[in-house]
Amino acid sequence: MDEQLKKKGKVQDLFLTFLRIGAFTFGGGYAMIPLIHREMVDQKKWITEDEMMDMVAISESTPGPIAINAATFVGAHVAGKKGAVAATAGVCIPSFLIMLGLSYVLSAFESLRIVQYAFIGIRASVLVLIFFAWLGMLQQMKRSVINWILLITTVVAVEFFSVNPVAVILISFFLGIVHTLIWSGKKVKK
């Protein structure tokens, strides 16, 4: 019975945490990554650094918005199916309500210069948040020749040759498996 109360408390905490993250993060899922990291790894210690990196990789690789995928992943890891539902609902509700409200008023105010300047400022801050998310992931990346080759090749392929990011993700996925199973002689953790 005590275990059920703890789990119920975590489910509620997941909902409220992701509700707060969803309500106060502008710029989409990539801008949420530093906040998810701070809450889940640094403060609550519900996931480790490695699990955070896995969460980002899985969230980017699976269909759907990264914020929803990340919330679902963390929620399931922390409190099972109920945690996944709570975290996902928490991160979605603010965006839904904000977009619903904005859809009624934005067209009336979008021509105002102050609103245009506000959006310029928001875009700049979102870019900074995405940069720091990328920098944090780069710092956590395991240093190996194959990882550096994949990183550089991916940037060049996407940026200079306009290779579809989905193709890059799939190729990297299979190269990672091949490297792990054949070249390193390691077994994949279950």
Model confidence pLDDT, tens digit, residues 46-102: 999 889 988 888 888 788 888 899 999 999 999 999 999 999 999 999 988 988 888
Pair of tokens at residue 120: 């310029």
- 141-165 burial code (b ≥16 CB/10 A, e <16): eeeeebeeebeeebeebeeeeeeee
Q: Are residues 109 and 162 in the same domain?
A: no
pLDDT for residue 168 is more than 60: yes
Statement to judge: residues 119 and 165 lie in one domain? no
**CB of 78 within 8 A of CB of 14?**
yes
Asked whether residue 21 falls in the same domain as residue 111, the answer is yes
Q: Model confidence over 103-135: pLDDT tens digits? A: 878 777 778 888 888 888 888 888 888 888 888
Q: Can you tell me the distance from the alpha carbon of 16 to that of 91, in angstroms, rounded to the nearest whole number?
A: 9
The pLDDT of residue 182: 80
28 DSSP 8-state letter: -
Residue 161: is its pLDDT beyond 90? yes
Q: Do 164 and 131 belong together in one domain?
A: no
Mean pLDDT of 12-39: 87
User: What percent of the residues of the chain are helix, what percent strand, and what percent coil, each to the nearest 5?
Assistant: 85, 0, 15
pLDDT at residue 42, rounded to an integer: 92
Split into its structural domains, the chain has a count of: 2
Q: What are the residues whose beta carbons fall under 8 Å from the beta carbon of 95, sequence distance 6 or more? A: 22
23 and 39 in one domain?
Answer: yes
One domain for residues 92 and 148: no
Q: Name the pTM for this structure.
A: 0.62
Q: Which domain holds residue 36?
A: 2-139
Position 91 scores a pLDDT of: 93
Same domain, 120 and 50: yes
Is 1 or 105 the better-scoring residue by pLDDT?
Answer: 105
Are 90 and 172 within one domain? no
pLDDT at 2: 61
What pLDDT, on the 0 to 100 scale, is given for residue 174? Answer: 87
Residue 16: what pLDDT? Answer: 95
Residue-level pLDDT at 140: 82
CA distance 32 to 76: 18
Q: Are residues 53 and 123 in the same domain?
A: yes
CA angle 164, 188, 50 (to 5 degrees): 70
pLDDT of residue 137: 81
Do 153 and 113 lie in a common domain? Answer: no
